[in-house]
């Protein structure tokens, strides 16, 4: 059982980095060898998330053929708190202007787009075959950019992350129809993850678009989880099931420094939501039911 899972979105700020980092940490805690890659090459943030700013080598170096997988992936298991039974390894991206330019494949023949993509596929293969990765988790760039598409192409599972109240439902729909459709034809599994839904700080009487609490959410999880009809509509229009709904938690949104809520607070509802997501995705079975 090996899986490459990408967290993608149409726009930024939907929670890809927060969720991919915490999700990876929880899988490592369970005993898996997890490789978390920052492929948000245009605006990477795992470096500041884990406070690692000068890795020996960057993912960029591997893609350009100038580094090995061991150079690029840093084992941070001992740096994170908790009883971690597996390992957490992270590959960081260099966002300097010249590096981004090189990754666009326009600089020389050696870094042609085809060669870069080949190296990216090689990175995935080496992680699974040489490094015995159980999971490769990829934090992507939002939208339809060269490296987002490449990431979707190498992934077994794509999780389209949406922020509740997102104004860009139409853009998301279009992207999913045009791009995801092509990948699902070849067996990629795609799911919707609705993040930052009405949470603990919302007062029902003053909610602008009152929505029905569906039966399945009554008494479960946050107790506040609701469906926006437009999001349900999105799910059915693009035919992607909702795999998880995560409320907005003020302590996460307003924390002054990013940290792994999933490890620091095992009983936090955010942690429980991600643990539930891990259970769904760790099995070999195709997850086909809605939450
Ligand atoms: N469920 C959540 N509740 C509250 N804040 C969240 C939640 N998920 C993410 N955030 C916050 O939203 C902001 C954007 O998240 P981030 O992971 O950086 O998004 P992206 O990587 O998609 O741009 C961050 O400040 C993060 O702490
Ligand atoms: Mg991010």
pLDDT tens digits, 250-272: 999 988 888 899 999 999 999 99
Ligand 1 center–CA 253 separation, angstroms: 6
Strand, helix or coil for residue 194: strand
Percent of the chain scoring above 70 in pLDDT: 84
Ligand 2 center–CA 39 separation, angstroms: 10
Q: Is 268 in the pocket of ligand 1 (CB under 6 A)?
A: no
Q: Where are the domains of the chain?
A: 3-282
Ligand 1: residue whose CA is nearest its atom 5 = 253
Q: Is 277 in the pocket of ligand 1 (CB under 6 A)?
A: no
Ligand 1: residue whose CA is nearest its atom 2 = 248
For 79, the token pair is 């740096």
Q: Is 193 in the pocket of ligand 1 (CB under 6 A)?
A: no
Taking the C-alpha atoms of residue 137 and residue 30, their distance in angstroms, rounded to an integer, is 15
Q: What is the DSSP string of 66-82?
A: -S-HHHHEEE-GGGS-S
Q: Is 138 in the pocket of ligand 1 (CB under 6 A)?
A: no
Evaluate whether 260 touches 282 at the Cβ level (below 8 Å): no
Q: Of the ligands numbered here, which is closest to the C-alpha atom of 44?
A: 2
| Architecture category of domain 3-282 in CATH | 3-Layer(aba) Sandwich (3.40)
Burial letters for 267-281: b for 16+ Cβ neighbours within 10 Å, e otherwise? ebbbbbbbbebbeeb
Taking the C-alpha atoms of residue 271 and residue 246, their distance in angstroms, rounded to an integer, is 10
115-128 pLDDT tens trace: 999 999 999 999 99
35-68 pLDDT tens trace: 999 999 999 999 999 999 999 999 999 999 999 9
Q: Of the ligands numbered here, which is closest to the C-alpha atom of 46?
A: 2
**Residue 17: pLDDT above 90?**
yes
Q: Is 253 in the pocket of ligand 1 (CB under 6 A)?
A: yes
State mean pLDDT over 76-95. 95
Taking the C-alpha atoms of residue 228 and residue 142, their distance in angstroms, rounded to an integer, is 22
């Amino acid at each position: 059982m090996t899986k490459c899972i990408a967290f993608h979105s149409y726009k930024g700020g939907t929670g890809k980095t927060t969720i991919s980092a915490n999700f990876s940490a929880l899988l490592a805690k369970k005993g898996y060898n997890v490789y978390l890659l920052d492929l948000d090459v245009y605006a990477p943030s795992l470096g500041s998330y884990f406070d690692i700013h000068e890795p020996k080598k960057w993912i960029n170096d591997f893609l350009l053929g100038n580094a090995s997988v061991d150079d690029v992936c840093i084992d941070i298991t001992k740096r994170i708190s908790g009883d971690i039974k597996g390992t957490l390894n992270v590959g960081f991206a260099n966002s300097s202007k010249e590096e981004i330019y090189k990754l666009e494949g326009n600089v020389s023949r050696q870094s042609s787009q085809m060669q870069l993509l080949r190296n990216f596929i090689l990175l995935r293969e080496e992680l699974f075959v040489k490094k015995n990765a159980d999971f490769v988790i990829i934090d992507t760039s939002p939208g339809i950019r060269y490296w987002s598409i490449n990431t979707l192409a190498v992934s077994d599972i794509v999780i389209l992350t949406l922020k509740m109240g997102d104004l860009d439902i139409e853009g998301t729909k279009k992207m999913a129809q045009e791009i995801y459709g092509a990948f699902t034809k070849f067996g990629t599994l795609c799911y919707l993850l609705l993040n930052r839904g009405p949470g603990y700080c919302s007062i029902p009487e003053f909610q602008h678009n009152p929505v029905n609490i569906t039966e399945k959410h009554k008494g479960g999880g946050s107790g506040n989880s609701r469906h926006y009809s437009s999001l349900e509509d999105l799910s059915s229009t693009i035919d992607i099931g909702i795999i998880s709904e995560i409320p907005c938690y003020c302590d996460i949104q307003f924390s002054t420094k990013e940290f792994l809520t999933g490890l620091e607070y095992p009983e936090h509802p955010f942690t429980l939501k991600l643990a539930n997501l891990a259970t769904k995705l760790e099995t070999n079975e195709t997850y086909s039911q809605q939450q």
